[in-house]
Amino acid sequence: MTIVAVMCGIALIVVVLWEGFETIVLPRRVTRRFRMTRFFYRRTWLPWVTMVNACVPPRRRETWLSFFGPLSLILLLSIWAFGLIVGFALLHWGLGSAIVTHDGSSGLLVDLYLSGTTFFTLGLGDAIPRSTAARFLVVLESGMGFGFLALVIGYLPALNQSFASREVSISLLDARAGSPPTASEMLRRHGHERGMDALRQLLHEWENWSSEFLEGHLSYPVLAYFRSQHENQSWLGALTAILDTCALLMAGVDGACERQAELTFAMARHAVVDLSLVFRTRPQEPASPRLPPEKLEDLRALLAERGLKLRERDTVDRKLTELRWMYEPYVHALAAYFRVKVPPWIAAENQPDNWEVSVWDRRTVSRKVTEKAKGEHF
């Protein structure tokens, strides 16, 4: 029995340390089929979504979904710490519980207590190791406790920095592509003189952003659960709008920055596909097409108003369908998993940007509408 306890303790410690190494230290995607961290997130995210949908009013659900990322990270770190404590307690117990206490008690609970106080470096002195092996385990565990604390201290700022860098570019899309960002608004707002030069620069920036996003979210997948500040903004919605814009430019907008669109499209699709592999979201077709023929005609008319012309219909339709097939199934799968909305191709009419409204503006508009209704009634 003692041998089994020692083996279980060693295995638990090795598993936790390896998971921590892969999650925090290793800067690349892990292709191993089973990972404790991936299992943890898949078994906690879906129940959390179910709970939020069942218990939280619709207008508050986005806020509650945003709690999951930070809370899950705290819970995961706590599970790792508890696993190391239990692993060392099993080692102490398997080696004979060589511990001296003031009241003479011994057993697995005492070993667990010593392991906990050692890991968190409390140093209370009411449980003391009395053998060489026990002392070695105490020293080893206290060193791991310091190392665990150092990793956490270094890990959290890196996460916050990566999240802030991601959200800056997403927020900048507000005035450039609308809220939520759409391909129609991005092209319409760049239909002025020198607009194509500005759009080329924007796509170049998003090529770099997509690369940084991919590297950051492969190293720290938990960032994908961190949601944006506004309900109509998300990293997936921003990537989709960029992909839509690039696909439209590549399919046939005369006088457009086609080469830069190709480069940005390649990097953005790479990010979407790799994130789909990380979270094991199988590509799926949408329930209804995002850009039916009648919407494409509306898009033609909208772009023509700003001096942008699409090429021949058959050529554009065929090329655009091919390009959309390369990323839309992955986008819809990720959107279904993370419970975010995929932005439309064409923005809704009279849809204000996030920078144009505030809580006070909404209250003023609501009051004016109410007063107008009362006046009409009387």
Number of separate domains in the chain:
2
| 98 and 114 assigned to the same domain | yes
Q: What is the pLDDT of residue 84?
A: 92
| 119 and 211 assigned to the same domain | no
Question: Of 101, 132, 152, which residue constitutes the final position of a domain?
Answer: 152
Q: Residue 350, class by beta-carbon neighbours within 10 Å (0-12 exposed, 13-18 middle, 19+ buried)? A: exposed
| 7 and 119 assigned to the same domain | yes
Question: Of 98, 126, 152, which residue constitutes the final position of a domain?
Answer: 152
| 137 and 166 assigned to the same domain | no
Question: Tokens in use for 188?
Answer: 């319409």
In CATH, what number is assigned to the domain containing residue 130? 1.10.287.70
| 56 and 177 assigned to the same domain | no
Question: Of 152, 183, 218, which residue constitutes the final position of a domain?
Answer: 152
How big, in percent rounded to 5, are the helix, strand and coil portions of the chain? 75, 0, 25
| 132 and 19 assigned to the same domain | yes
Decide if 299 contacts 184 (C-beta within 8 A): yes
| 145 and 232 assigned to the same domain | no
Q: Kindly give, in sequence order, each residue whose CB lies less than 8 Å from that of residue 215, ignoring residues fewer than 6 positions away.
A: 27
| 288 and 189 assigned to the same domain | yes
Cα 198 from Cα 194, distance rounded (Å): 7
Q: What is the pLDDT of residue 55?
A: 93
Kindly state whether residue 61 falls inside one of the protein's structural domains. yes
Domain assignment of residue 264, given as a range: 157-361
Nearest to 40 by CA among 61, 14, 22: 22
| 136 and 167 assigned to the same domain | no
What phi, psi does 129 have (nearest 5°)?
Answer: -70, 140
| 144 and 207 assigned to the same domain | no
| 19 and 146 assigned to the same domain | yes
Kindly state whether residue 376 falls inside one of the protein's structural domains. no
Kindly state whether residue 374 falls inside one of the protein's structural domains. no
> Distances from the Cα of 43 to the Cαs of 40, 63, 345, in angstroms?
5, 20, 33
Kindly state whether residue 377 falls inside one of the protein's structural domains. no
| 123 and 163 assigned to the same domain | no
In this prediction the pTM is: 0.84
Q: What is the pLDDT of residue 370?
A: 47
Cα 94 from Cα 1, distance rounded (Å): 8
Q: Please calculate the CA angle 290-291-296 and round it to the nearest 5 degrees.
A: 160
Kindly state whether residue 372 falls inside one of the protein's structural domains. no
Kindly state whether residue 371 falls inside one of the protein's structural domains. no
Q: What is the pLDDT of residue 202?
A: 93
Bridge partners of 100?
A: 128
Kindly state whether residue 142 falls inside one of the protein's structural domains. yes
Q: What is the pLDDT of residue 368?
A: 44
> Distances from the Cα of 20 to the Cαs of 13, 14, 118, 292, in angstroms?
11, 10, 19, 47
Q: What is the pLDDT of residue 131?
A: 84
Digit-by-digit pLDDT tens for the chain (378 residues) are 678 888 998 999 999 888 888 887 776 666 666 677 888 888 899 999 999 999 999 889 999 999 999 999 889 989 999 999 999 999 988 888 878 777 777 788 888 888 888 888 877 777 888 888 888 988 898 888 888 888 888 888 888 888 988 999 999 999 899 889 999 899 888 877 787 888 999 999 999 999 999 988 888 888 999 999 888 899 999 999 999 999 988 887 766 788 899 999 999 999 999 999 989 899 988 778 888 888 888 888 888 887 777 777 777 788 888 999 999 999 999 999 999 999 999 888 777 888 777 665 555 444 444 444 444 443
Kindly state whether residue 293 falls inside one of the protein's structural domains. yes
